[in-house]
Amino acid sequence: MVLNSKGGSGKSTVATNIASYYASQGNRVMLVDCDPQASSLEWLAARPSGRSTIVGVDASEGKFRVPRSIDYVVYDTPAAIHGKQLNAYLRRAQSIIVPVLPSPIDMRAATPFIKKVLENGRISRKECRIAIIANRCRENTNVYHQLDTFLRRLRKVPFISVLRETQNYNRAAERGLGIFELAPYLVRRDIDQWDPIIRWLNSKRSQPVA
Ligand SMILES: Nc1ncnc2c1ncn2[C@@H]1O[C@H](COP(=O)(O)OP(=O)(O)OP(=O)(O)O)[C@@H](O)[C@H]1O
Ligand SMILES: [Mg+2]
């Protein structure tokens, strides 16, 4: 599940890239769009028929079943999730990625959001695991260094990767693809930046502690 109450932090971008990564690896993937804006479902509608299939679900239409054949369920969530609604989302998740942007407003908003998430019993019992990534970063900027310092200081939440600001995400998104599906020479740096995210997702660190 990709979650951050702040709008525009990259939830749909990260969710669609996770979905397309696992699908392109031969897994059966369900992409659940919980946002009435339906960015993930629109992305899926643009996906060429020849590409690995991803099953889209519009969660705003009510309850849905996950068929046994599905290997991965990826949730894209809306902005402005607080209180009881946040806890309802946390009940459904197993592994959560929180993308945060290098901007003073986003960093300020991240502090109470992460605090609320950490107060949730499933998170404190490690039944649901959480990690943070920095998104849309330009390395030689002051604000990126501020974000880096801020995220490193969050001792209870692993800060697993930094994604750069690049048009590659837009290039991929407009065609219903993930960056893993673009020409390798274009996205080498981005794939390197995704490597720790995929490793986290594939490791015990993202799985519930039994
Ligand atoms: N690393 C990146 N580099 C360049 N553009 C990016 C990157 N990540 C996201 N974007 C762009 O930033 C905008 C917001 O991203 P996105 O829609 O994924 O955020 P969101 O958190 O889902 O927003 P919302 O809260 O409205 O659902 C989009 O136009 C997206 O293409
Ligand atoms: Mg979105």
User: Mean pLDDT, the chain, as a whole number?
Assistant: 96
Nearest to 3 by CA among 125, 104, 91: 91
Q: What residues contact residue 81 under an 8 Å CB cut-off, 6+ apart?
A: 3, 5, 89
Q: Counting ligands in written order, which one lies closest to the CA of residue 11?
A: 1
165 Cα nearest atom in ligand 1: 3
Would you give the DSSP letter of residue 159? E
Distance CA 144, CA 126 (A): 29
Stretch 8-31: mean pLDDT = 98
Stretch 150-171: mean pLDDT = 95
Q: Is the CB of 163 under 6 A from ligand 1?
A: yes
* pLDDT at residue 61, rounded to an integer: 84
Probe ligand 1: pick from 1, 6, 12, 190, max atoms within 8 Å of CB? 12
Q: What residues contact residue 207 under an 8 Å CB cut-off, 6+ apart?
A: 94, 95, 129
Q: Give the residue carrying structure tokens 């809306």.
A: 78
Q: Is the CB of 10 under 6 A from ligand 1?
A: yes
* pLDDT at residue 192, rounded to an integer: 98
Scored b (16 or more CB within 10 A) or e, 63-87 reads: eeeeeeeeebbbbbbbeebeeeebb
Q: Percent of the chain scored above 90 by pLDDT?
A: 95
> Which protein residues have their CB within 5 A of the ion that is ligand 2?
11-12, 39
Distance CA 97, CA 118 (A): 13
Q: By the 8 A CB rule, do 48 and 137 touch?
A: no
Asked if pLDDT for residue 155 goes beyond 90, the answer is no
Model pLDDT for residues 133-146, shown as the tens digit of each residue: 999 999 999 999 99
135 Cα nearest atom in ligand 1: 1
* pLDDT at residue 188, rounded to an integer: 98
Asked if pLDDT for residue 210 goes beyond 90, the answer is no
Nearest to 150 by CA among 120, 110, 182: 110
Nearest to 177 by CA among 79, 68, 49: 49
Q: Is the CB of 127 under 6 A from ligand 1?
A: no
5 CA to middle of ligand 2, Å?
Answer: 10
pTM exceeding 0.95: yes
7 Cα nearest atom in ligand 1: 25
In degrees and rounded to multiples of 5, residue 66 shows phi and psi of -100, 110
The structure tokens listed for 38 are 């339906």
Describe the crossing of helices 104-119 and 142-153 by its angle, rounded to 10 degrees: 10
